[in-house]
Structure 1
Amino acid sequence: MSRLKLVLTFAGIILAIYFLVPIAVNMFLRANPSVFIDDEVEVSNQTVIECLTFTSDRDMNVSIAASDSVSLTVYKPRSIEDPDLVVSHQDFLSCGDNPLACRMRPNWPESDAAKMAVLGGFHPDIRNQSFQFEVDEDEPVCVMLFNQGLGTVTASRLVETTPR
């Protein structure tokens, strides 16, 4: 009888660990988001872009703090339907020998940026705002920041994610 109690006790402990550890890990990850971009960029008459791919479904938070108005577009390259925009996106990402060419180029027209924002992520004329998006596993997501004005704008970018 005491062996049976001992076996049942250990089985209960193992089951509790099996179910509680993933819950605790998920709660820890949600409390400590992963930071993928945290920098400050100068945005003059150019577009600054970063494309990210995540290994699990995530909630993504994009925060922008700018010295003047900038426009933000968050889009999924695979969801662009306009063939010309697909070609433009591919051209934009082909770096050649200059790694900065991947991140900056002359501005996209605002109408094209609005067409690309299939996540509902086209936000013109922002200064200090945060936006949230749902991102699927293994699907690239691009964060594009541009300035339609004449001067240079300093913008801080913060992109964080938490598991969904």
Structure 2
Amino acid sequence: IIDRDESHALGFRINEWEIKGVPLRIEIGPKELESDQVTMVRRDTFKKDQIAVEGLVDSVSKKLDDIQENLLQKARQLKKDMTVEVDDFVEFKRIMIEDRKFIRAFWCENPKCEDQIKADTKACTRVLELDQIDKTVEGQCIGCRSKATRKWLFAQSY
């Protein structure tokens, strides 16, 4: 998309595209036209690079791949940092109220049990992680203490 809106200042337009989530912004101004280069700005790192026009397509493709990989790694790290494993319901409630983290815990997969957990903590199951789908390990449900064979991720909705 080419933004030719001259009724707003450059800073306003840059901010507008960042809010929209555009991952890569290419700036072409008088300096860039003179030097046959463009300024490329990554939204994830705000790093600016000068790129030759002749290699622009390859550079954009590579930058988008780099952005995707960077965002994936950040998301994985955030999930790791924000997930705790809990076996005790008192601790489960404390973490949900005070820390609002993801909690990995055994669950019996009974909807009534989940309803009670949600009533007590405002948290419910969010996902059964891929490594848990075929895995069966015996444990006790975090809510009702009955038999459970898989650990689920619980979280509050916002």
TM-score (normalizing by structure 2)? 0.32
Answer 1 or 2: higher relative contact order, Cα 8 Å, separation at least 6. 1
Bigger helix fraction: 2
TM-score (normalizing by structure 1)? 0.31
Bigger strand fraction: 1
| Structure whose CA Rg is larger | 2
